[in-house]
Structure 1
Amino acid sequence: MPTVTLPPKENALFKRILRCYEHKQYRNGLKFCKQILSNPKFAEHGETLAMKGLTLNCLGKKEEAYDLVRRGLRNDLRSHVCILIYPGSRCSCQRREICARHSINVILTKAPKSTRLFAGGVPPVLLVSPVTVGLWQKPVCPVLVLYLRASLWRIQSSITLKSCTALCTPHPGWCALQHKHTRFIQKARIGAVGSCFHNCAAPGWHVYGLLQRSDKKYDEAIKCYRNALKWDKDNLQILRDLSLLQIQMRDLEGYRETRYQLLQLRPAQRASWIGYAIAYHLLEDYEMAAKIIEEFRKTQQTSPDKVDYEYSELLLYQNQVLREAGLYKEALEHLSNYEKQICDKLAVEETRGELLLKLGRLDEATEVYHCLQERNPENWTYYHGLEKALKPSSMEEKCKIYEEAWEKFPKGLVPRRLPLNFLLGDKFRECLDRYLRMNFSKGCPPVFTTLKSLYASKEKVTMVEELVVGYETSLKSCRMFNPNDDGKEEPPTTLLWVQYFLAQHYDMIGQQTLSLEYINAAIESTPTLIELFLIKAKIYKHAGNIREAVRWMDEAQALDTADRFINSKCAKYMLKAGMIKEAEEMCSKFTREGASAVENLNEMQCMWFQTECALAYKNMNKFGEALKKCHEIERHFVEITDDQFDFHTYCMRKMTLRSYVDLLKLEDVLRMHPFYYKAAVTAIQMYLSLHDNPLIDDNKELQADTANLSDKELKKLRNKQRRAQKKAQLEEEKKNAEKEKQLKNQKKKKEDDDEEIGGPKEELIPEKLVKVENPLEEAVKFLTPLKHLVKEKIDTHLLAFEIYFRKEKYMLMLQSVKRAVAIDPDHPWLHQCLVRFFKGGMRARLCPHTFLTSASHSSLWSPSFPVSESKELPEVVRTVLKQEITRLFGDSNARSFNQAYLSKHSNSIPHRLAAAKMMVHLDPSAEPKAAELASALDQSLDNRTIQTCIEVLECLRSGALGDCKELVETYRDSCHRLFPYTLAFAPPGYEENSKIVNGDLSTETEELANEISSTFPLL
């Protein structure tokens, strides 16, 4: 409701403004605002100004929007609500005192004309509304300003006259205004002067809150809404908006209070009850939540025979709350009572099975899980539930469960697959034989994927290999799995799938030569099967030859250009090979026509592409472009978090309450997602590198280079620079033309929409991102979510150590290493961090080539004093550090600690490398010994994998282990003989881009390959 009562014409226009805003017809709304504000009488109408600002904000004009809303807020509080009170004036209800109920009706015309104009006579007392300086007319009268801060009233006198005195009573919500000529004190309750006060302040604060909310300043928006509620505590719209912000910010206590107010105001509305129940549910007061839902359910008049989806969801949600409260018996009774009214029968049976297991009613649970098996014999969960219900006491009884399932479901694969997890010896071989024969005969490509988990057991890996190699030999000779079989011959495709399986098997155990032989034989027999080319590309990728992998993946993509999965795989491999432009062209086959592939992929939140792009740019030392991709991924997660707003009201309206609660719980741990973790780690590594090696200004570097050049050399350099400048100019023109084309397409798209919603986001410019003033602070922004959500990964705490080491935050360094020690005390990177922490080097001088890889995270450090002996630290900090260092290291010094670590892990290459680095760090004269220690490639050593050898080679090349140029070539040649397909170990001239390093070698493949090779040296 407008503060100044608008005439019918303007009032109708104001209502149309509100409708236009609700229907997102922003430009029409601005036209109506202009019509009202163009009238001189209403040029400063507060609510119209506020609505105009809110509308402009939706069109991206934020500065103008804020100015208008603030101006509107001031004018709202400066308008006719300023009440002139004359001594002895009476209200229309004939009371002598100020009537709070009818204060706006005080008859002002009774005062003398001269008094009303403040020209003389008895000056009036002016009661002014909060948050403004009230002015009535010139010349200025005494003005009392009431300014609201933290729910207290503060009285100020902006102009002091002898004839006016301000007195404040003890109660903070009251003020007393006294004129020296009056015989009584006029009192007014500030919060109850009348509806006019509410109507003037609440809309302005509400609009200001909406503006803050649109800018994602949720805390400020909540403050605005609370201010609005002080003027209109029962405003439903403000309360609803406040509740949305509270649940968004997880202010659960505040959310509960707001939902309680809404329930009191609208007890007949379903959303009021549901919101209040959810508030208690999220606060983990399950019993109270269950009681509220039950009270609401009693008000619902639903026929027992009628099936209503929304009522069904309410019942399932109520049952979920009962289960989480631990009331399993009540939950089971509830499920039985309302089973007929629940639509999701599958959820009913699954829940019943879980409850019966928890209550120990195993016979009934067995019946339930048998019924579920018949419904879906391929669901692993049902078999696990049946095992819990039957409680088999021996392997034979456990196996009998699955034998019965085999007989009942002869075509089922799960009853044959699950026993492989626990069977051993001949029983395992027999079961595996039946499972593999069934899949090979059918031609089931993912059979190897289903058996991957078995590769943790060396015994089972051996049996798998013996069986499948036997199949291949027999199929070649007699087209049967075994020459002794009494059955029909297998089709030719069976041999194809056996070879396909063997190729994956040998790739898994690190035998790429055998793997390639099998896959080549399969391709020769069936050169049109896409899956074969895909596996061949994977083999080359795992072997360290990403270029060859790209070639074969591109071959697979060419066989079916309409297959989006293969297209995406090919693009991913191209990015790993540093072929960014080719990858973009590959992706453009499936992006929107007429738009840049990169922009469209960003718009679609295609994060796998952006993470791989970031890694590719990082490997090319293009940190600006890489950081841009990392920040784009961060923005995606912010958008996903903000998208919750759409569901806070929708889910309560549609009663999808179980999904809604799951969504809220998911959003709380959203940044645990691998995409965010990968992007955050990449960004942190680059920011640390930028801190250690700040970018040099090109002009300064050029001046330094040209100072020592002769005239002839300088002339050549200038010509070269001119050519480079011309080339760069042409590229820039081409880039601008493409950008102009994109902007044209975007503009056309916007014109097709009804309205443009929201302003443009701040552009991510690579040059600015890479020249950030404080890289460590930017790194902390990415680190903070990881510390809270991904604290079970040791890399999180070690990255934290690297940041705090550079910031010289000793207690945080200690916290990081202690958390890492609790996860894996023998981790190679952690060992380096511990030695550095103990030694207390304050500045790390890191080699960019070996910085922050998976096992190697430091190169050279300047020696310094022990941390615990630093005289710059407070006494308390030094005492704590000394105690904790004693606990971590005992009585040993840094060298003895490093030597003990080396002795303990002398058979592991990554651990030897970490110890060798620390050897050089502690004693530079030990470089030859350290290089020899790290470069050992004996067959008896563990973790002799491609990635580990690449790290050792890079350390030797970078000088992290001293000057050992001859050893570099010797070590490279040894690695090349060990891993002949890996480009990183290829001799010069073997490949043009021999510097490309395989960046995605599977960890499980590395570990398994090492274990298999040490156990089965003949493989």
Structure 2
Amino acid sequence: MGAGLPAKESNLFKLIVKSYETKQYKKGLKAADSILKKFPTHGETMSMKGLILNCMDRKAEAYELVRQGLKNDLKSHVCWHVYGLLYRSDREYKEAIKCYRNALRIDPENIEILRDLSLLQAQMRDLAGFVETRQKLLTLKPNQRMNWIGFTVAHHLNSNPRQAAEVLEAYEKTLEEDYPPENERYEHSEMLLYKISLLDECGDPERALDEVNKKAAKIVDKIALKEQCASLLLKLGRSEEAEATYQSLLAANPDNYRYYEGFQNCLGLSLESGKHSPENVNKLSSLYKSLYEQYPWSSAAKRIPLDFLEDDDFRNAVDIYARPLLSKGVPSLFSDLRPLYDHPGKADILENLMIEIESSLEKSGSFPGSSLKESPSTLLWVLFFLAQHYDLRGKHDIALGKIDDAISHTPTVIDLYLVKGRILKHAGDLTAAATLADEARSMDLADRYINSECVKRMLQADQVEMAEKTAVLFTKDGDQHNNLYDMQCMWYELASGESYFRQGSLGRALKKFLAVEKHYADMKEDQFDFHSYCLRKMTLRAYVQMLKFQDRLHSFPFFQKAAVGAIRCYLKLYDSPPKVAVEEEAGFMSLPSSERKKIRAKQRKLEARAKKEAEEKAKEGEAANVAATKSGKRGSQHSKVVDLDPDGEKLIQVEDPLAEATKYLGLLQAHSGQCLETHLLAFELNMRKAKILLTLQAVKRQLRVDPNDQEVHRCLIRFFNMVDSLPPPETPAEKLVHGVIEIERPSLGVPHGKPLLEVNESFLDRHRDSLVHRAAAAEMLFLLSPEKKAEAITIIENSVNNITPRGGVLGGAREWKLKNCIAVHKLLETTFHDPVAASRWRLHCADMFPFSTYFKGVKSSAVLGSVNSKICGNEDNGHLGKSHNETVDVLSNSVNGNAIDLKGLNISAPEESLQTC
């Protein structure tokens, strides 16, 4: 470093490097300027000065200096290394790797550059390169533990656990017999457990078990050691020893479900084809009786049998399980038993049991068959359970009756109002649901969960402004947007994005969806520091798990929803570009070339000025905050990030919306290929791009995921209708595409010579009992033969609302869903353009869904005089209409003072408002 400089300047250069490492940037700049006064073309000094400027948020100057320094000294590994560091700070990892490789060509044994390169290779999952770089580091510095561990992990990540285990064994041979010292016991223990897991992963459980027996004394984490030992014994078929190990684990933690599962496997009582055989059920029943006798305080020992018991055995077991929880008033009982509703017949047993308990409590105040008097609150929680039960089964009238009875019984329980709001949401009255949630929130202003639930209901009802005012009550200094973004509050961003999308505000919707995508990018970036930290601290098992988690990061539901929302926004922008933009573009293109250049230059100047002003304001705020902190007045100023595009106007001014949508579709296809919606969006996108083979690929993948879905049928008919309308192929490429489609036709259910009308008719015959399938068939009939519009509408109107048999999963629930009926109504209005038929459908559905505001049902808040309209304050302007604004005022005033005591704001709603609910 500092090549070509005299001694004095060489020492100054070392000072620059030290100042950069210790973050003394002003000192480093001063030293750099001193050198550049005498040697203005010294490349390494220019590069280091640029690196320091980059740390001071002067990126433009930094890049200019570093590039100039590199031009002045292309053969300096320092210049290339600094250029790589600059790219790394901007997350341009591919470019940074190129720079590091150029630096290594000049200085192939530079430890720092090799280490930095290995970190980037791990980040980018260049696993072959990662192994190669780590091997070089180990060769150069074999006396450093971190190099051995890094080489081991590199092999493991590169799908070579056997080689990784061999490297660890070679490292162990270099250690002394009395290793580890006291201060490294935990790190060495983690390394040994990691080695055991490697041996297990490479298919050698016997060797892994030998390692357990040899090194057990040096392993500190005894629970992890026992878990690994039990798993290995089970794999080796030593069931009795594995059983004893699992028993000791259960004695330590009798509520760990994984231990029960392992214990069952030891006894050969594992699942067969997703369920237990009758013989196994009897054995399991006896097993869990004995386990419950051993661990009577264990909730898992009582809950697990409910999954495999049937009929009377199930009824008795769930009765024993539920009674103490009802007596204690555990609100989560229904959530706990909710998975049982997926088992045929168990929902009916639960319903009959709870009705029997309700009747007994009302008559005698005790459980059936018991003489002990129960607390009056027990009946409340039975009603609470039944309300949620009937809500799940689609019987909203009965559900509301039960929850109203519970509220009359004890009107001060907040959970009752939340559940009533949830029932109204499912019944279709989103406005009343939001009002009930707000009422629950006003009863306990210090509860953040209830506040969040209220915000979610408001957003579902498209009350965005009110939701923002409510959310701001629990954010720092009332800064709602920045604070929620910094907290990565993705549920809020998704809910508000969906609300904006429904309201047609695409800019704001896109801003929210892209904010979620940015959070995932930040999560991916956050792993960078762990590549060196975990190797240093020897948390190897957790490190590998974290990397595997990162590899499937984009498969999580929040990202899927955000990506789907963003793609839909871009598709809508493509179909209906913003009118203002279209008009401006038309007027702009009609101007002479010289005028257009002037206007563009003026726009660039205005944007630059606005950006500069925003940056200056941000710097002023930061300086004021620093000054306030120094003067001891912390909290008096708060620097805020200035949002230059709060409404997302710039986001919707994209030149190619389909290109933007393609970016997110690629991530969905890579990580959510099992999701049907991914391929539906791929179809819509490629249809608009006229990519015929990609559209065909999307249809094939849809059929692979769910061949009976109505949306898949729509895509199939639309695709072949488009293909059949194309002119005869002329060019070789067109003929090739046409030939591929003709080959694929039979496999897609559209044989040669079979008209699409017949394909559509056969689809309708297979699904005559389903409303959504009939609607899809009717829509495709209208697409193929517009003159058959009346026949298509008749197909929809002749749909019969079948009832699921009592033995079914939902047992008597309505087959028609509210969202499907709404979709059919929109179809009649927008696609068929038949207001008369749409009106008939609305009237029909208003009777079927009396709480639906969309269909203006008689019991919804949309109809004056209904119960829900009174709840929402549409008539008497009661407490429920006032509580929100009053609460906002109370907390807004309190938020201005830094020491706000939220626990002291536990305000109960007035009796008058509770009677209204």
Q: In structure 2, how many angstroms separate the alpha carbons of the residues matched to 1:407 and 1:329? A: 35
- 1:514 deviates by 1.0
What residue in structure 2 maps to residue 836 of structure 1? Answer: 718
Partner residue of 1:600 out of 456, 480, 483: 483
What residue in structure 2 maps to residue 985 of structure 1? Answer: 855
Q: Deviations over 1:676-696 (max 9, x none)?
A: 100110111111111112222
What residue in structure 2 maps to residue 17 of structure 1? Answer: 16
1:537 aligns with 2:441: no
Q: In structure 2, how many angstroms separate the alpha carbons of the residues matched to 1:918 and 1:362? A: 59
Q: Deviations over 1:172-216 (max 9, x none)?
A: xxxxxxxxxxxxxxxxxxxxxxxxxxxx51001111111111222
Q: In structure 1, how many angstroms separate the alpha carbons of the residues matched to 2:642 and 2:165? A: 45
Partner residue of 1:949 out of 821, 839, 843: 821
Question: What are the residue-to-residue correspondences of 1:283-298 with 2, within 5 Å?
Answer: 283-298=158-173
Q: In structure 2, how many angstroms separate the alpha carbons of the residues matched to 1:527 and 1:741? A: 51
AA aligned opposite 2:517: E
Q: Is the 8 A contact 2:148 2:167 kept in 1?
A: yes
Between 871-880 and 580-589, the greater mean CA deviation after superposition: 871-880
Q: In structure 1, how many angstroms separate the alpha carbons of the residues matched to 2:483 and 2:284? A: 53
Q: Indicate how the Cα distance of structure 1 residues 742 and 538 shifts in structure 2: closer, same or farther if over 3 A, else same.
A: farther
What residue in structure 2 maps to residue 222 of structure 1? Answer: 97
Partner residue of 2:785 out of 914, 920, 923: 923
Structure richer in helix, relative to its length: 2
The unaligned stretches of length 5 or more in structure 2 are 270-278, 588-611, 631-637, 805-814, 865-917
What residue in structure 1 maps to residue 345 of structure 2? Answer: 459
Q: In structure 2, how many angstroms separate the alpha carbons of the residues matched to 1:499 and 1:810? A: 57
Q: In structure 2, how many angstroms separate the alpha carbons of the residues matched to 1:991 and 1:935? A: 27
Task: Specify the SS of the correspondent of 1:300.
Answer: coil
What residue in structure 2 maps to residue 1008 of structure 1? Answer: none
* Aligned residue pairs, count: 809
Q: In structure 1, how many angstroms separate the alpha carbons of the residues matched to 2:465 and 2:553? A: 31
What residue in structure 2 maps to residue 390 of structure 1? Answer: 267
What residue in structure 2 maps to residue 26 of structure 1? Answer: 25
What residue in structure 2 maps to residue 999 of structure 1? Answer: none
Question: What are the residue-to-residue correspondences of 1:352-431 with 2, within 5 Å?
Answer: 352-392=229-269, 393-431=279-317
What residue in structure 2 maps to residue 195 of structure 1? Answer: none
Question: What are the residue-to-residue correspondences of 1:445-456 with 2, within 5 Å?
Answer: 445-456=331-342
Q: Is the 8 A contact 1:867 1:881 kept in 2?
A: no
AA aligned opposite 2:456: K
Q: In structure 2, how many angstroms separate the alpha carbons of the residues matched to 1:949 and 1:267? A: 70
What residue in structure 2 maps to residue 4 of structure 1? Answer: 4
Between 250-259 and 513-522, the greater mean CA deviation after superposition: 513-522
Q: In structure 1, how many angstroms separate the alpha carbons of the residues matched to 2:858 and 2:707? A: 40
- 1:941 deviates by 7.0
Q: Is the 8 A contact 1:468 1:502 kept in 2?
A: yes
Q: Is the 8 A contact 2:199 2:208 kept in 1?
A: yes
- 1:456 deviates by 1.7
Q: Is the 8 A contact 1:356 1:362 kept in 2?
A: yes
Sequence identity percentage: 41
- 1:747 deviates by 5.2
- 1:790 deviates by 0.4
Partner residue of 1:264 out of 122, 125, 139: 139
What residue in structure 2 maps to residue 493 of structure 1? Answer: 377
Bigger relative CO (Cα 8 Å, ≥ 6 apart): 2
Q: Is the 8 A contact 2:432 2:861 kept in 1?
A: no
Partner residue of 1:793 out of 646, 660, 675: 675
- 1:11 deviates by 3.1
Q: In structure 1, how many angstroms separate the alpha carbons of the residues matched to 2:644 and 2:190? A: 42
Q: Is the 8 A contact 1:273 1:296 kept in 2?
A: yes
Q: Is the 8 A contact 2:429 2:861 kept in 1?
A: no
- 1:56 deviates by 1.5
What residue in structure 2 maps to residue 660 of structure 1? Answer: 543
What residue in structure 2 maps to residue 556 of structure 1? Answer: 440
Q: Is the 8 A contact 1:838 1:866 kept in 2?
A: no
What residue in structure 1 maps to residue 51 of structure 2? Answer: 54
Task: Specify the SS of the correspondent of 1:645.
Answer: coil
Q: In structure 1, how many angstroms separate the alpha carbons of the residues matched to 2:427 and 2:236? A: 53
Q: In structure 2, how many angstroms separate the alpha carbons of the residues matched to 1:631 and 1:751? A: 35
Q: Is the 8 A contact 2:455 2:467 kept in 1?
A: yes
Q: Indicate how the Cα distance of structure 1 residues 910 and 737 shifts in structure 2: closer, same or farther if over 3 A, else same.
A: farther
What residue in structure 2 maps to residue 85 of structure 1? Answer: none
Partner residue of 1:477 out of 326, 342, 363: 363
What residue in structure 1 maps to residue 766 of structure 2? Answer: 904
AA aligned opposite 2:720: F
Partner residue of 1:468 out of 348, 354, 358: 354
Partner residue of 2:572 out of 689, 695, 698: 689
1:885 aligns with 2:745: yes
What residue in structure 1 maps to residue 225 of structure 2? Answer: 348
Q: Is the 8 A contact 1:870 1:878 kept in 2?
A: no
Q: In structure 1, how many angstroms separate the alpha carbons of the residues matched to 2:323 and 2:760? A: 53
Alignment TM-score, normalising by the size of structure 1: 0.76
Task: Specify the SS of the correspondent of 1:488.
Answer: coil
- 1:939 deviates by 2.8
Alignment TM-score, normalising by the size of structure 2: 0.84
What residue in structure 1 maps to residue 174 of structure 2? Answer: 299
Q: Is the 8 A contact 2:2 2:14 kept in 1?
A: no
AA aligned opposite 1:590: F
Q: In structure 2, how many angstroms separate the alpha carbons of the residues matched to 1:987 and 1:514? A: 17
AA aligned opposite 2:712: L
What residue in structure 1 maps to residue 836 of structure 2? Answer: 966
Q: Deviations over 1:113-135 (max 9, x none)?
A: xxxxxxxxxxxxxxxxxxxxxxx
Task: Specify the SS of the correspondent of 1:980.
Answer: coil
AA aligned opposite 1:785: L
Task: Specify the SS of the correspondent of 2:473.
Answer: coil
Q: Deviations over 1:81-129 (max 9, x none)?
A: xxxxxxxxxxxxxxxxxxxxxxxxxxxxxxxxxxxxxxxxxxxxxxxxx
1:249 aligns with 2:129: no
- 1:432 deviates by 1.3
Q: In structure 2, how many angstroms separate the alpha carbons of the residues matched to 1:653 and 1:50? A: 30
- 1:299 deviates by 2.6
Q: Deviations over 1:283-306 (max 9, x none)?
A: 111111001011112333445896
The unaligned stretches of length 5 or more in structure 1 are 78-199, 705-735, 842-863, 995-1019
Q: In structure 2, how many angstroms separate the alpha carbons of the residues matched to 1:439 and 1:645? A: 46
Q: Is the 8 A contact 1:362 1:390 kept in 2?
A: yes
1:679 aligns with 2:562: yes
Q: Indicate how the Cα distance of structure 1 residues 952 and 750 shifts in structure 2: closer, same or farther if over 3 A, else same.
A: farther
Q: In structure 1, how many angstroms separate the alpha carbons of the residues matched to 2:126 and 2:741? A: 37
Q: Indicate how the Cα distance of structure 1 residues 551 and 870 shifts in structure 2: closer, same or farther if over 3 A, else same.
A: farther
What residue in structure 2 maps to residue 110 of structure 1? Answer: none
Q: In structure 2, how many angstroms separate the alpha carbons of the residues matched to 1:507 and 1:747? A: 55
Q: In structure 1, how many angstroms separate the alpha carbons of the residues matched to 2:134 and 2:455? A: 49
Partner residue of 2:87 out of 212, 230, 236: 212
- 1:741 deviates by 8.5
Question: What are the residue-to-residue correspondences of 1:818-829 with 2, within 5 Å?
Answer: 818-829=700-711
Q: Indicate how the Cα distance of structure 1 residues 310 and 764 shifts in structure 2: closer, same or farther if over 3 A, else same.
A: farther
Between 984-993 and 242-251, the greater mean CA deviation after superposition: 984-993
Q: Is the 8 A contact 1:937 1:944 kept in 2?
A: no
What residue in structure 1 maps to residue 904 of structure 2? Answer: none
Q: Is the 8 A contact 1:60 1:760 kept in 2?
A: no
1:327 aligns with 2:187: no
Q: Is the 8 A contact 2:81 2:100 kept in 1?
A: yes
What residue in structure 1 maps to residue 520 of structure 2? Answer: 637
Q: Is the 8 A contact 1:916 1:933 kept in 2?
A: yes
Q: In structure 2, how many angstroms separate the alpha carbons of the residues matched to 1:68 and 1:504? A: 66
Q: In structure 2, how many angstroms separate the alpha carbons of the residues matched to 1:811 and 1:34? A: 60
Q: In structure 1, how many angstroms separate the alpha carbons of the residues matched to 2:383 and 2:332? A: 13
- 1:875 deviates by 2.3
Q: Is the 8 A contact 2:828 2:834 kept in 1?
A: yes
